[in-house]
């Protein structure tokens, strides 16, 4: 039991509670991974069979790290644990049980690009308006339906869904969904959402299969439970129903993936499913200084929907959190770059000790420009992953076609690459013939003279090549099979002959892929090493498994969503402005606003030693310079933890002409006082509180009934100040008012949310 000695009392209690339903609320930096690891090790040390343990994670990286730690404690027995992402574990089950659902065991897993390609083809065939039926909208609509366990039949029979679609002019969505599902089925393919959707179908339709896995997985653990969607929730609940030895680990304060379908209610209401639940709260933060933890606590305290906890740190107090004001987004980038440069020259830290986090990818531009001008090396995360590059996807398409010749998307991708005289017209004829005769495109190609008018001889050669790959690869290792396909498909030769810089890079990428497959072939920790198994691993990589290696000595730039699970010594959170952070899309519902606040909480808790927050008072948006208001989240931070650094020079009067009013909030309970900032000097302006407040509401300010608001009326807004209505558009209850405010200029507001006081009617 020596591995228990390094745990604090609450961690130790959570690790040792192995029977019954358990919920571990793990605050940021509280040693969550250690607790999960040690709890699994403790299960094994307590006599639980490793084959009876299921651990579900959200990234392959997390699963790999946990398995390595468990192996270090208990040895090779760790290999037998079913541990991995939801998608990887359930795809493994589906490959065993797929025939029950009418799928081949070697089904292809479509990535997002594959799915959108299928949708694009369907939209083209149906001749639908791409403005109403954009491929992104259709893809997201189908994905949301599957995550809520709504199949195409249920979709078409649901009166509410149909009413919504027809009212928006998208009455063909049900038919598109049906055709998409049928195309995937015909191709022997499942998309990412299907891996959960079909698992639910399997467990619901086949009680004997459910019973089999309920008794196999006697102990379940789920990491990051706050990120589960309805489909994942239901699978876990079904599997745990017999033994109820289920342990979920997570932090409701870090639930930030509602846009992916994550439902925070799963963790908030977990006790309703398991009344005998034992709850453990990991509240000691081992990552951040006291000041950073206190700031995070003051932010999240404003959320109503949460599991209360008192996160604390026993580290040093640390620096106060610096708040920087810039007068433009470009100047914000300069301030951040200068601050990093200055701090690094003083402390001697590495570049990779710094991270810049932002709400949207578009914000990276001003940061990049400033870093480049200062000669600071940086890397943007969340860009194109290795496996999304064209040449990699081309070779992988050949692999896919070898193991599943019915894979229509793979076939369309490589049937004429490298060029072999099979034009688009021929491909279209193949697809039409396949649809008409209820065949797969590859089956049509095998009988090309019968089905395809003017079929080129190269079709026979292509089919013969794929069939030869199927035969030859059966007796080769993953690396030998991959190399054979790369060479004999002509792909390797085509890239080698391209002597341009881009061609050389593409060729080197293919070599890197082959090197990776060779490394896979030589691994000793896995039994099955075929190319088909490697393909499964690649298909199940998540966005979060992309390279986030901090070994490279560069400043890290990424969205806050991408930063979850990471930590840095010094963090700059930029763009703290209304309508940017919180996002404008989040301001119509409290649940959305609370998710934005949780996102800010995640950003703050990435910092270990120093946290800096910045905002701009003007920013370019769609080519237009707009006035920006400081984020409401800044007002929610307890002033005693902040240090203002307002050294930025005001923008020229020709740009905006309004100088914002800094305000100082006293913390002794007295009335707030406001004062105009002094002219900028070389020394930072430091106050005890925060920021620019554009307007002080009039005494007794109260929103008016605006149902009869008219152009020309003067109004007051509690933050924007006094203004005049210059335009009204739309119909009740969604009337939009364009108002020119004296202090900040023109704004468009939705009246039902605006809370305006009519001053002069």
CA atoms of 79 and 77, how far apart (whole Å): 5
**562: annotated binding-site residue?**
no
Q: Compute the average pLDDT of residues 593-606.
A: 95
**Measured CA distances, 32 to 15, 27, 72, 91, 300 (Å):** 11, 8, 18, 26, 19
- Angle CA(398)–CA(404)–CA(409) in degrees, nearest 5? 60
pLDDT at position 622 is 57
Catalytic residue selected from 59, 199, 254, 289: 254
**745: annotated binding-site residue?**
no
Which one has a higher pLDDT value, 688 or 15? 15
- For residue range 698-734, list pLDDT tens digits in order: 878 888 989 889 998 999 987 778 889 998 988 887 7
**26: annotated binding-site residue?**
yes
Our answer to whether residue 254 is catalytic in this structure is yes
CA atoms of 499 and 515, how far apart (whole Å): 21
In sequence order, the 6+-apart residues with CB closer than 8 A to the CB of 464 are none
Structure tokens belonging to residue 131: 């403005």
With cut-offs at 50, 70 and 90, classify the pLDDT of residue 761.
low
Structure tokens belonging to residue 383: 């860009």
- For residue range 149-166, list pLDDT tens digits in order: 999 999 999 999 999 889
Strand positions, DSSP E, 650-698: 663-664, 673-674
Note whether 630 and 691 are within 8 A (CB): yes
Task: Check whether 26 has a pLDDT greater than 70.
Answer: yes
**151: annotated binding-site residue?**
no
Catalytic residue selected from 223, 227, 252, 544: 223
Alpha helices (runs of H) in 158-289, residue ranges in sequence order: 159-167, 173-186, 192-205, 207-216, 230-239, 265-268, 270-273
**33: annotated binding-site residue?**
yes
CATH topology of domain 9-99+198-282: Rossmann fold (3.40.50)
Answer yes or no: same fold for 9-99+198-282 and 313-385+546-644.
yes
> What's the mean per-residue pLDDT of the chain?
86
Our answer to whether residue 289 is catalytic in this structure is no
With cut-offs at 50, 70 and 90, classify the pLDDT of residue 67.
confident
CA atoms of 202 and 204, how far apart (whole Å): 5
Question: For the chain, first and last CA: distance in Å?
Answer: 77
CA atoms of 627 and 619, how far apart (whole Å): 7
- Could you say which DSSP state residue 630 is in? B
Note whether 639 and 632 are within 8 A (CB): no
**565: annotated binding-site residue?**
no
Burial class of residue 47, CB neighbours in 10 A (0-12, 13-18, 19+) = exposed
Lowest mean pLDDT among 61-65, 436-440, 640-644, 673-677: 673-677
Catalytic residue selected from 10, 12, 32, 632: 32
Note whether 100 and 111 are within 8 A (CB): no
pLDDT at position 521 is 81
pLDDT at position 385 is 66
In CATH, the architecture of 313-385+546-644 is 3-Layer(aba) Sandwich (3.40)
- For residue range 458-481, list pLDDT tens digits in order: 999 999 999 999 999 888 889 999
Q: Compute the average pLDDT of residues 423-450.
A: 91
Catalytic residue selected from 10, 165, 191, 224: 224
Structure tokens belonging to residue 234: 């239901």
pLDDT at position 542 is 59
pLDDT at position 672 is 31
- For residue range 513-534, list pLDDT tens digits in order: 888 888 788 776 666 778 988 8
Our answer to whether residue 244 is catalytic in this structure is no
**168: annotated binding-site residue?**
no
Our answer to whether residue 473 is catalytic in this structure is no
CA atoms of 546 and 611, how far apart (whole Å): 25
CA atoms of 299 and 166, how far apart (whole Å): 42
User: Considering the entire predicted model, what is its pTM?
Assistant: 0.75
For tokens 């004829």, name the residue: 429
CA atoms of 293 and 161, how far apart (whole Å): 44
**419: annotated binding-site residue?**
no
Q: Can you give the residue ranges of every domain in the chain? A: 9-99+198-282, 108-187, 313-385+546-644, 390-541, 713-760
Q: Compute the average pLDDT of residues 18-27.
A: 94
Lowest mean pLDDT among 163-167, 346-350, 570-574, 622-626: 622-626
Catalytic residue selected from 183, 198, 606, 619: 606
Which one has a higher pLDDT value, 696 or 220? 220
Q: Compute the average pLDDT of residues 18-24.
A: 94
Catalytic residue selected from 16, 33, 162, 343: 33
- Angle CA(525)–CA(526)–CA(532) in degrees, nearest 5? 150
Q: Which is it for strands 607-616 and 321-326: parallel, antiparallel or unpaired?
A: parallel
Pick the CATH number of 390-541 from 3.30.450.40, 1.10.486.10, 3.90.1150.10, 3.20.10.10: 1.10.486.10
pLDDT at position 669 is 33
With cut-offs at 50, 70 and 90, classify the pLDDT of residue 744.
low
CA atoms of 387 and 21, how far apart (whole Å): 39
């Amino acid at each position: 039991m020596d591995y228990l000695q390094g745990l604090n009392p609450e961690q130790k209690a959570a690790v040792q509670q192995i029977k019954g339903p358990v919920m571990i609320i793990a605050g940021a930096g509280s040693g969550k991974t250690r607790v999960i690891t040690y709890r699994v090790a403790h299960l094994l040390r307590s006599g639980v069979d490793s084959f009876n343990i299921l651990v579900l994670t959200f990234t392959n990286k997390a699963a790999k790290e946990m398995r390595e730690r468990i192996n270090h404690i208990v040895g090779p027995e760790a290999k037998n644990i079913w541990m991995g992402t939801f998608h990887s574990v359930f795809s493994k089950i589906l490959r065993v049980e797929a025939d029950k659902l009418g799928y081949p065991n070697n089904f292809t897993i479509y990535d997002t690009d594959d799915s959108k390609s299928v949708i694009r083809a369907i939209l083209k065939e149906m001749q639908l308006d791409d403005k109403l039926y954009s491929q992104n909208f259709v893809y997201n609509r189908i994905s949301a339906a599957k995550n809520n366990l709504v199949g195409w039949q249920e979709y078409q029979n649901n009166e509410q869904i149909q009413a919504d679609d027809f009212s928006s002019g998208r009455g063909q969505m049900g038919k598109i969904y049906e055709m998409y599902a049928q195309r995937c089925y015909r191709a022997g393919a499942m998309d990412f959402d299907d891996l959960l959707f079909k698992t639910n179908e399997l467990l619901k339709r086949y009680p004997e299969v459910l019973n089999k896995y309920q008794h196999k997985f006697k102990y379940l653990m789920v990491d990051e439970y706050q990120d589960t969607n309805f489909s994942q929730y239901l699978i876990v609940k079904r599997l745990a129903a017999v033994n109820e030895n289920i342990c979920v680990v997570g932090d409701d304060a870090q639930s930030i993936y509602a846009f992916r379908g994550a439902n925070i209610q799963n963790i908030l209401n977990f006790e309703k499913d398991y009344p005998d639940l034992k709850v453990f709260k990991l509240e000691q933060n081992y990552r951040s200084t006291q000041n950073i933890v206190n700031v995070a606590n003051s932010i999240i305290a404003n959320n109503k929907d949460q599991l209360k906890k008192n996160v604390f740190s026993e580290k040093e107090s640390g620096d106060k959190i610096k708040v920087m004001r810039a007068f433009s987004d470009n100047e914000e980038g300069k301030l951040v770059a200068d601050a990093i440069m200055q701090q690094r020259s003083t402390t001697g830290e590495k570049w990779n000790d710094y991270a810049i986090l932002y709400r949207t990818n578009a914000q990276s531009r001003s940061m990049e420009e400033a870093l480049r001008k200062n000669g600071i090396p940086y890397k943007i995360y969340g860009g194109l992953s290795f496996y999304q590059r064209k040449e990699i996807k081309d070779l992988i398409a050949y692999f896919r076609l070898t193991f599943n010749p019915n894979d229509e998307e793979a076939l369309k991708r490589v049937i004429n690459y490298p060029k072999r005289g099979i034009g688009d017209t021929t491909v279209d004829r193949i697809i039409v013939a396949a649809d008409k005769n209820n065949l797969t495109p590859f089956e049509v190609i095998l009988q090309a003279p019968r089905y395809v008018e003017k079929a080129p001889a190269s079709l026979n050669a292509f089919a013969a090549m794929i069939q030869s790959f199927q035969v030859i690869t059966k007796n080769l290792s993953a690396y030998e099979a991959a190399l054979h396909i790369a060479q004999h498909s002509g792909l390797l030769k085509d890239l080698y002959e391209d002597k341009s810089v881009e061609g050389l890079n593409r060729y080197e990428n293919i070599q890197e892929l082959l090197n990776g497959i060779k490394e896979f072939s030589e691994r000793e920790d896995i039994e099955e090493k075929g190319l088909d198994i490697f393909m499964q691993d690649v298909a199940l990589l998540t966005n979060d498994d992309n390279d986030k290696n901090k070994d490279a000595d560069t400043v890290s730039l990424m969205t806050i969503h991408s930063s979850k699970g990471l930590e840095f010594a010094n963090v700059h959170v930029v763009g703290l402005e209304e309508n940017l952070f919180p996002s404008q899309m989040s301001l119509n519902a409290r649940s959305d606003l609370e998710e934005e606040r949780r996102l800010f909480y995640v950003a703050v808790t990435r910092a270990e030693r120093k946290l800096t927050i910045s905002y701009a008072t003007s920013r370019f948006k769609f080519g237009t310079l707009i006035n920006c208001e400081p984020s409401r989240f800044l007002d929610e931070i307890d002033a005693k933890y902040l240090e203002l650094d307002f050294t930025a020079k005001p923008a020229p009067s020709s740009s905006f002409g309004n100088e914002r009013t800094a305000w100082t909030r006293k913390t002794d309970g007295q009335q707030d006082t406001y004062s105009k900032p002094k002219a900028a000097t070389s020394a930072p302006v430091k106050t005890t509180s925060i920021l620019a407040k554009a307007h002080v509401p009039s005494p007794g300010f109260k929103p008016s009934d605006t149902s009869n608001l008219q152009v020309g009326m003067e109004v007051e807004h509690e933050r924007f100040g006094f203004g005049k209505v210059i335009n009204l558009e739309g119909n009740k209850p969604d009337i939009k008012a364009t108002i020119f405010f004296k202090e900040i200029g023109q704004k468009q507001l939705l009246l039902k949310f605006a809370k305006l006081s009519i001053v002069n009617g």
